[in-house]
Structure 1
Amino acid sequence: MGTVGIHDEIRLYLRARVALIVLVTVEEQRALDVLDQVRKDRDPSSDLVTWDIADGLESASGRQLPKAATPPDALTKIKELAQKEPRRRDLYVLKDFHAFWERDPAVRRRLRNLAHKLVFTGSSLIVTTPVRDIPVELGDDAVVVEMPLPEADALRRELDQLIDSTKGVKSTLTPAGRSRLAQAALGLTAAQARRAFAKAIVRDEVLDDRDIEAVLAEKKAVIRENEALEFYSAEESPDDLGGLDVLKEWLRLRERAFGDAAREFRLPAPKGIALIGIPGTGKSLTAKMIGGLWRLPLLRLDVGALFGSLVGESEERVRRALRLAETVSPCVLWIDEVEKALSSGGHDGGTSQRVFGTVLTWMQEKTAPVFVVATANDVSALPPETLRRGRFDEVFFLDLPTEEERREIITVHLRKRGRKPEMFDVYQLALACDGFVGAELEQVVVDAMYAAFAEERDITTDDIARAAARTVPLSRSQREVIEDLRAWLREGRAQSASFAEADRAAEHQVPVLEV
């Protein structure tokens, strides 16, 4: 929902005679601009009256208003003003009023009484607050409206105004370039976007395509402050990921699914995938690869960082993180080790279940093009409803790599470190590394390089083979856990990421591990 949507929603509540609206936003000035426009459209003769603890009551039309230094005074004066001229359709805005209703029950009671009185007048009361939580006493009288972050069109107008008002700036951006720069700022507030644009301008007094990366860097810093979200530079490609041919083909078929051509074809945007499997098999690398393959922003949701110590704080964090992901969309949202959301074992007063339920409900109902990549190592910790269709387009199982995949993975890591794979016996190494996951294969190559570096020579096949011989892979150290995971695949609960059919995976690559 953009600015037009928020105008319409507030206007609708005012027509319905809702006397108390709680507008949740950190963008106070933008909220006041929206409310002033709603007020003018509704009744040009009306007034927008604001109150805060510093300046008291102020009128947008310049009316003389009584002094009101405290919250009780403000509520009393607003009641008197509204009842004195009940036909007026004024909007009364209380700034940061959550700070007063949190600690004073008398303020909560006065506010509720005022809301009841305003129902019989033409005026309405609006509280602007950066947090969603409202007192339970007001739950039946107030409606909560969350103001979305500005859309690309609004950010484009901010950019155009800044360029026009800044003397001496040279802009080589075409109209399409300005739109790309505004698109890069999605996820920022209007004030944050203005600061990012201004910083790009004053750096060299030239605005060009290079400043898109500068704005993206500013956005990464802002998103990082969210605590639960991290902006990743997705530079990985399918060539950086050995094996997993079925998964790669599935992703390639949907590479253009977020473009205009797909919308014209009436093709819905893909919702997401769940990656279940053995640790170290490439689940995290796959998430990064999707962002690079589809050329979409990649956001990582840190489930552990969602939990706060205050009542309601965890739920607010997850809602804020999901709203930000929708604003940045189309994007890839990577939820790593999703089972961590339930790791408390029910000893946190139900917070983990509520947070997890919020994420699941959002995944089911979201309409924004946010592609969710959820990874999990312990599928037994997930409730059955987690992986059902509607939340995910497909559930993939990442197993121990086959011999062919081990050759690919070893080749990838040799090439990544500047070595020519043809100079090594990758066939012998793949056999020597039977039962190794991708992360272990990478570490074997790295360990061999350390040994060769210490002797001041280049790495050889024998170095890698010796490193492999010293390694105890997960397939041996956690044999029982891995067998339980593979049994889950044999039951047909997921699609193999490596083979076209799950029964082929069972036949070729899922033998029962010997104890």
Structure 2
Amino acid sequence: MTNELIKQVFDLIKLNNKLIAIESPLQERLSFLTNLACECLPLDVNCYLWTLEDDGLHQLVVNQETLALQTVEQYQAIAKNRREHYFEILRFWKTTDLQGILILEGIFPWLGESNTDPDFFLTSEWIKSALINLKLYNHSCNKTAILLGSNATVSSDIAPEVPTIVQQLPNIEEIKTHLLQVLSDYSQVEIHATASAGVGMYLADIDYGIRQAFADREITPDELVEKLSVYKIELLKRIYSIEFLQPPATAIGGLELMQEAFKTYKRLLTTLAKAYNLRLPKGILLIGPPGTGKSYSAKASSAQLGLPLIILEWGSFRSYGNLAEYKLKNLLALVDRINRIILYLDDFDKGFAGDDDLSKRLAGMLLTWMQERTSEVLIIASANNIQWLPPELTRSGRFDEIFKVDLPNYGERHEIFKIHLARFDARFHNGGDAYTEDEWKRLLKATQRCVGAEIGVIVERAAVSTFCRMFGDDVLPLEKLPPLLIQLSALLAARQSMNPLAIREADRVESMRNIAALQGQPSSSIDSSIYSLGNVDIFG
């Protein structure tokens, strides 16, 4: 992976580019510098590194693939006597008789778009001017300046003068090639399984995850795959503020039409579908009131398709400010590299509540990526207020499918209750039941306009109250514990202690439902269960 990056660097140098920007993550820095110095050695090209942190210039020296830094005294003497600011290196490199490649690390923050602070602005403009003059002054010299950093964002006024190379995440074949050296005693099958667990991480991260896994004892290849997967989930959460979930075993009550659509998407992932040029929809939008099961539906789709799920709170990007576009670019690159994954954008509408320039830029990036991507990624977004979304996001060809996720009907509430009751009451395991038809009708009538999330709370409150009635403060042996039997009365009492959102905020919820009905197709079929509204006396 890094060798491909080095090749791109020398291809630009051969085209006489004197100024090159490289975006490379910090954890890959040592590997990049070592590989660059190794490539320079047979070409008899000197390679130098300057860092903002100590304003020191060092020559990169490689001995048996081990990198060492040698201080360049010539710069140290000049900088000490004539230092007016931390960027004396730009004047030095323009006039020095040293030749080769100069790597400037830590300079990108001054190369972005304009800042309102006068001192920052003046320094930024001076650096940009100095870099352009450096390029012009050294046009006929064997000198190249490389700008190196983890975020190679440059302002539009100098972007045409600075070609940018981005170090991409390694693909599975590149990871397998690397692992053959690290895990030389592993079989091809074991290498492939380990590489699959490492997709989405840089090689340095994979190496660290492997060292961490072997820190305490020798482990089997299967254990390594499991530990590396856990490490990746933790790492992605820290870097991207996302949840990364393997396909869960998620049961879902109702929403039959949406679930049928998910089954269709699974068939579109087959090689047979590819032979007919069929593909996944570009995006799926779930709209409706809060708590109706939109997030749960995304998890259910992950279970049905057998694909991992990335959950991203879209509105959180606003908190990154000027780094928002950089964060989104990296996340979309991650999703592309992992491939065959579901990207779920939770509360998608909240990211556009401000209707500001940042929201529009992020929307533009997402739309461009959705239009141009070739990876097999299923995009699911949820929204409570579709009117907050820019019109260009909801037109045909962007989000191909829009589903209305409504308040659950009687039959769906019956299924949702049974799913939640099975968490606490063994009588409901494996589709079992403990209530009569009349008891169910009474409960379903009492929970009209309750959403799935509220039903979950009702069941949990009933379980807590049942537990508290069964036991005092005495601790009993676990093997002698009686079963927890949740009675209808406990559920009805829990319902009385709650004021559902659809009743408490009736006007807002009805507005959301009406707009969703106009924009989206139904996700549930007509209730044909024995508990349908026609079979329940709502006035009884």
TM norm structure 2:
0.79
Distance (Å, rounded) in 2 between the aligned partners of 1:136 and 1:272 = 31
Alignment partner of 1:68: what SS? helix
Q: Which residue number corresponds to residue 289 of structure 2?
A: 278
Distance (Å, rounded) in 1 between the aligned partners of 2:45 and 2:145 = 12
Q: Which residue number corresponds to residue 184 of structure 1?
A: 197
2:248 is the alignment partner of 1:222 = no
Tell me which moved more, 24-33 or 147-156. 24-33
Q: Which residue number corresponds to residue 485 of structure 1?
A: 512
Q: Which residue number corresponds to residue 520 of structure 2?
A: 494
State whether residues 72 and 110 of structure 1, in contact with CA within 8 Å, keep that contact through their aligned partners in structure 2: no
Distance (Å, rounded) in 2 between the aligned partners of 1:137 and 1:361 = 23
Q: Deviations over 1:30-66 (max 9, x none)?
A: 43466568879xxx63525222246624256899977
Alignment partner of 1:280: what SS? coil
Residue 22 of structure 1: how far off its partner (Å): 0.7
Alignment partner of 2:215: what SS? helix
Percent of paired sites with the same residue: 24
Distance (Å, rounded) in 2 between the aligned partners of 1:97 and 1:79 = 17
Residue 407 of structure 1: how far off its partner (Å): 1.3
Q: Which residue number corresponds to residue 66 of structure 2?
A: none
Residue 232 of structure 1: how far off its partner (Å): 2.9
Q: Deviations over 1:148-204 (max 9, x none)?
A: 12222222233221223xxxxxx5x53122112111112222111101112223332
2:261 aligned to 250, 263, 288, which one? 250
Q: Deviations over 1:314-360 (max 9, x none)?
A: 222222222222233222111110111123354xxx22332333233
Alignment partner of 2:148: what SS? strand
Q: Which residue number corresponds to residue 338 of structure 2?
A: 328
Q: 2:494 is aligned with what amino acid?
A: A
Q: 1:212 is aligned with what amino acid?
A: V
Q: Taking structure 1 as reference, are residues 92 and 220 closer, same or farther at Cα in structure 2, changes over 3 Å only?
A: same
State whether residues 279 and 377 of structure 1, in contact with CA within 8 Å, keep that contact through their aligned partners in structure 2: yes
Alignment partner of 1:134: what SS? coil
Tell me which moved more, 28-37 or 376-385. 28-37
Tell me which moved more, 187-196 or 464-473. 464-473
Q: Which residue number corresponds to residue 108 of structure 2?
A: 98
Alignment partner of 2:311: what SS? strand
Q: What aligned pairs does 1:174-213 form with structure 2 within 5 A after superposition?
A: 174-213=187-226
Q: Taking structure 1 as reference, are residues 45 and 158 closer, same or farther at Cα in structure 2, changes over 3 Å only?
A: closer
Alignment partner of 1:204: what SS? coil
1:341 aligned to 348, 351, 356, which one? 351
Q: Which residue number corresponds to residue 311 of structure 2?
A: 300
Distance (Å, rounded) in 2 between the aligned partners of 1:100 and 1:436 = 54
Q: Which residue number corresponds to residue 83 of structure 2?
A: none
2:368 is the alignment partner of 1:361 = yes
Q: Which residue number corresponds to residue 359 of structure 2?
A: 352
State whether residues 306 and 314 of structure 1, in contact with CA within 8 Å, keep that contact through their aligned partners in structure 2: yes
Residue 469 of structure 1: how far off its partner (Å): 4.1
2:459 is the alignment partner of 1:451 = no
Distance (Å, rounded) in 1 between the aligned partners of 2:233 and 2:461 = 33
Tell me which moved more, 441-450 or 217-226. 441-450
Distance (Å, rounded) in 2 between the aligned partners of 1:403 and 1:187 = 43
Distance (Å, rounded) in 2 between the aligned partners of 1:324 and 1:305 = 18
State whether residues 21 and 143 of structure 1, in contact with CA within 8 Å, keep that contact through their aligned partners in structure 2: yes
Q: Which residue number corresponds to residue 432 of structure 1?
A: 446
Q: Deviations over 1:373-393 (max 9, x none)?
A: 111111121121222233323
State whether residues 200 and 215 of structure 1, in contact with CA within 8 Å, keep that contact through their aligned partners in structure 2: yes
Alignment partner of 2:239: what SS? coil
Distance (Å, rounded) in 2 between the aligned partners of 1:8 and 1:258 = 34
Distance (Å, rounded) in 1 between the aligned partners of 2:254 and 2:230 = 33
Residue 414 of structure 1: how far off its partner (Å): 1.5
Q: Taking structure 1 as reference, are residues 191 and 77 closer, same or farther at Cα in structure 2, changes over 3 Å only?
A: same
Distance (Å, rounded) in 2 between the aligned partners of 1:38 and 1:193 = 24
Residue 263 of structure 1: how far off its partner (Å): 4.1
State whether residues 23 and 144 of structure 1, in contact with CA within 8 Å, keep that contact through their aligned partners in structure 2: yes
Distance (Å, rounded) in 2 between the aligned partners of 1:52 and 1:202 = 35
Q: Which residue number corresponds to residue 124 of structure 1?
A: 144
State whether residues 433 and 468 of structure 1, in contact with CA within 8 Å, keep that contact through their aligned partners in structure 2: yes
Residue 234 of structure 1: how far off its partner (Å): 4.0
State whether residues 287 and 516 of structure 2, in contact with CA within 8 Å, keep that contact through their aligned partners in structure 1: no
Distance (Å, rounded) in 1 between the aligned partners of 2:153 and 2:241 = 19
Alignment partner of 1:226: what SS? helix
Q: 2:304 is aligned with what amino acid?
A: L
Residue 219 of structure 1: how far off its partner (Å): 0.9
2:45 is the alignment partner of 1:47 = yes
TM norm structure 1:
0.82
